[in-house]
Amino acid sequence: MKIALIQMNSTDDKAANLAQAEALIEDVMAHERPDWISLPEVFSFMGGTRADKIAAAETFPEGAAYTLMRDLARKHGVHIHAGSMLERIAGEDRLGNTTVAFNRSGDEVARYRKIHMFDVTTPDGQDYRESATMKPGEDVVTYACEGVTIGCAICYDLRFPALFAALVARGAQMIALPSAFTLQTGKDHWDVLCRARAIETQTYFAAAAQTGQFRQGKETRATYGHSLLADPWGLVVAKASDGTGYVTARIDTARIARVRSQIPVAQQAVSLI
């Protein structure tokens, strides 16, 4: 299965973000013809104020971002893992940071709401309080794609190994992690954590990322980029450079089986709880 990871520089201009996403998908389909495409976290709207986020959010299956991804999947006959979008949730003041996956026919096959909220202070002193506007999800989600079981996670989830163990327990062979990692944390932790999750889960780890600057209220913030695919041995087999664009690579289920046979950690694990 050939996959593509789209790297974007989303901002608080939703129309421009959707145009950017569409152009990159059209380009990768014209030149690479992948079977599966992932966009980064919050590809349709990033930054802005709380009011801006609420205005940009969608009630699925309505909304411009949802409809665009559905229609592009159907148009090109390609699986689209639609990064994440801001989702209005009935009866809630907070939004969902939500992945929706579409099959080749444009049918929704999975929906995952980010579980772990990014409530941190980065080394440069910037405060991030995702829980102020986002409601955490609760469900561990996988879906089938071309004979491969794909597990869902988003950005800050990367730091919580228990989620990935749960995905593997549900049969995950590839894990998709759309992300908007900060520049400050990404330069030190991104590669290490992505490779570690690939090694410990013995899966392909597909991480499409945001890159570049955006405005959060009155602040200018920056994301790290460097979208990558790590294989089940932890080797980075594809990686984006700076700027917007995409990378492609192929995944091989036989490679997963070989690694799991060579180092059978799933059979050797001992419960210490």
- Quick check: 43 and 82 in contact, CB under 8 A? yes
- Selecting among 53, 58, 152, 155, the annotated active-site residue is 155
Tokens 């609420």, residue? 54
Residue 59, SS3 per DSSP: coil
Tokens 């809630």, residue? 92
Q: Which residues contact 266 (CB under 8 A, 6 or more apart)?
A: 168, 202, 260
- Selecting among 41, 53, 58, 135, the annotated active-site residue is 41
- Quick check: 88 and 59 in contact, CB under 8 A? yes
Beta bridge partners of 37: 4, 80
- Selecting among 87, 114, 152, 194, the annotated active-site residue is 114
- Quick check: 227 and 169 in contact, CB under 8 A? no
Distance CA 135, CA 138 (A): 10
Distance CA 36, CA 102 (A): 10
155 is catalytic: yes
Distance CA 260, CA 230 (A): 15
- Cis? peptide before 136, omega within 30° of 0: no
41 is catalytic: yes
Positions annotated as catalytic residues are 41, 114, 155
